[in-house]
Structure 1
Amino acid sequence: MDGVDERVGEAGERVCLVPWAETDLWLLHRTNSPEMTAHLGGPETEERLAARNRRYAGLASGRMYRFTLSDGGETVGSIGYWQRTWQGAEVWETGWAVLPEFQGRGLAVRAARTVREAARADGTHRYLHAFPSVDHAASNAVCRGAGFTLLGQADFEYPKGRWIRSNDWRVDLEKGD
């Protein structure tokens, strides 16, 4: 699969999901600022970025993408879905980052809807979850706009060794919501 175009027939800018490649390390560097990582424990070291890039490129369960504007192909950010154990069950988890110059345009909502469809098409798990910090208004708005249901709050470890209070948002991929 070379790319997944947004299937939502919304007016406005459309996005395309492009499978993550080893050459996308530059995007991790761009999103590794104190402002972009304030809700994620802060910037990572060069070694951790390189390891994450390799993990994204070789993801065995799920898929990581950079997402682009459909018109022109300009990279906007990253998004993906991956397997995790949550409350005793295997589920998909999703997360995203949008470059500062593209924030506030609804592009993350469009990308989240598109990745939701990619996870549904994968067919492996019934649920797709997102766990933004309760204090991260923008990411919680993306969940709401992308059709996720707020289940409540949970203590969530991210990165490893750092606990944050997160909202647990979920989409039932079997029901099609």
Structure 2
Amino acid sequence: MELQEWDERGLWLERQANTAAMKEHLGGVEPPGKLVERHEKYLATMRGADGWMWLVVLPGSPDPVGSVGYWRREWRGEPVYEMGWKILPAHQGRGLAVRATVAALRRVAAIGERRYVHAYPSVANTASNGVCRRSGFQLLGETSFEYPRGHLIVSNDWRYDLSAPLNNPARTNQ
């Protein structure tokens, strides 16, 4: 598994992931225009200062099997990063989301700008909560979280301390 910079393949990935099963915890299937809008945003603004998006690619395959990324946000008055990921159903259950998340966390830690990364999966999203746990995030508790815009969900607030030593087995096992 490797992380590759977001490019035109990202729109293909967004379309593949725009299913009821993949969007169950994310507000449901989106109209095609919203996918194009997000893809263009990632191409334009998610390469550095505001955040970064990567495609998760398997060796020998031109098509991405998922994505992982981070972006700046304020959370309870503190500047933090938020992180999110997705892996297409045919590739789930093989640890790819954890490996991609750990690889992305290493890159975010190298920036050294903010101390914490948060992830906010729905409390009902067993898979994403598992990714947080296995990637070394600390569960802070439940919170109300707005996603998509205008839609409150009950989420878990997971926090990853970028200043902590890399002694967690999940953090060193790539």
TM-score of the two chains, using structure 1 as the length reference: 0.88
Identical aligned pairs, as a percentage? 48
Alignment-derived partner of residue 114 in structure 2: 125
> Aligned to 2:15, which of 29, 50, 55?
29
1:46 offset after TM fit, Å?
1.1
Mapped contact 1:62–1:119 kept (Cα < 8 A): no
The SS at the match of 1:75 is coil
Unaligned runs of 5+ in 2: 167-174
State how 1:40-79 maps to structure 2 within 5 Å. 40-58=26-44, 59=46, 60-69=49-58, 71-73=59-61, 74-79=63-68
Which whole-Å CA distance do the structure 2 matches of 1:22 and 1:61 have between them?
20
1:25 offset after TM fit, Å?
0.5
Letter in 1 for 2:19: S
The SS at the match of 2:65 is strand
Which whole-Å CA distance do the structure 2 matches of 1:32 and 1:41 have between them?
11
> Aligned to 1:102, which of 91, 95, 105?
91
Which whole-Å CA distance do the structure 2 matches of 1:29 and 1:123 have between them?
33
Q: Residues 105-150 of structure 1, C-alpha deviation per residue, up to 9 Å, x if partnerless?
A: 1110101101111110122211011100000000000001101110
1:91 offset after TM fit, Å?
0.6
Unaligned runs of 5+ in 1: 1-14
Q: Residues 69-112 of structure 1, C-alpha deviation per residue, up to 9 Å, x if partnerless?
A: 2x324522011000111111111100111011000011101011
Which whole-Å CA distance do the structure 2 matches of 1:40 and 1:134 have between them?
12
TM-score of the two chains, using structure 2 as the length reference: 0.89
1:23 offset after TM fit, Å?
4.0
> Aligned to 2:164, which of 156, 171, 175?
175
Give the ranges of 4+ consecutive aligned residues of structure 1 lying more than 2 Å apart after TM superposition: none
Which whole-Å CA distance do the structure 1 matches of 2:82 and 2:124 have between them?
19
Mapped contact 1:22–1:54 kept (Cα < 8 A): no
